[in-house]
Amino acid sequence: MTVSTSRPSMKTLSKPTLHCTTRARCAVRIRASSPGMVSMFWLLATFAYLLGSLSFAILLSRLSGSPDPRASGSGNAGATNMLRLAGKKLAILTLLGDLCKGLIPVVLAGASGLAPSQQGWIGVCAVLGHLFPLYFRFRGGKGVATAAGVLLGLYPPAAALAIAAWLLTLYLTRTSSLAAL
């Protein structure tokens, strides 16, 4: 397999270049669709959904004796509502927990050799777990922090840009739900 280390010029950008032999491409394609990789994908997708189903807002509110965030405040099981109901410490813990449950499955998917598109689907499973948690009667949060964790695992510069846009919108409008859009 040959790998090009030089940057292409503007003339070569319009022409397709072959960076590896056809045989190497076939070997990668066969490896990515092997039964072991398919099993790994479904195992990680299930893990991501189940991890995403853990609602740190609900768990922390139960442990601390705070009101259930689904029944109080805005009714959302997320960090902003936890800030209103239980204070900064539990809100930060909720935010970090929700961020990690998007980040961890994507990092594990990347470490196991899954393709970037498959890593993205693993992240979608984590966000769906947050939105529709199995353990809490399918009533979850908005998935903003979990999606930020997924983006952080897939492409950190995009996550930094999204978080900066969220912070700027929050600063200008003082409305967390508007910043989440």
Check whether 140 has a pLDDT greater than 90: no
Number of domains in the chain: 1
Q: What is the pLDDT of residue 99?
A: 94
Tens-place pLDDT, residues 3-41: 555 554 444 444 334 445 555 444 434 344 566 778 889
pLDDT digit string, tens, across residues 88-128: 899 899 999 999 999 999 999 999 989 999 999 999 999 99
Q: Is 56 a member of any domain? A: yes
pLDDT, residue 69, reads: 85
- Judge whether residue 53 has pLDDT over 80: yes
Expressed as residue numbers, the domain containing 37 is 20-155
Asked whether residue 175 is assigned to any structural domain, the reply reads no
26 part of a folded domain? yes
The answer to whether residue 167 is domain-embedded is no
Is residue 67 situated within a structural domain?
A: yes
What span, in angstroms and rounded, lies between the C-alpha atoms of 55 and 57? Answer: 5
Question: How far apart, in Å, are the Cα atoms of 160 and each of 26, 134, 148, 157, 175?
Answer: 35, 30, 9, 5, 20
Residue 181 lies in a domain: no
* Residue 130 forms part of a structural domain: yes
Q: Is the dihedral of CA 64, 66, 67, 72 positive or negative?
A: negative
Of 44-53, 100-109, 166-175, the one with minimum mean pLDDT is 166-175
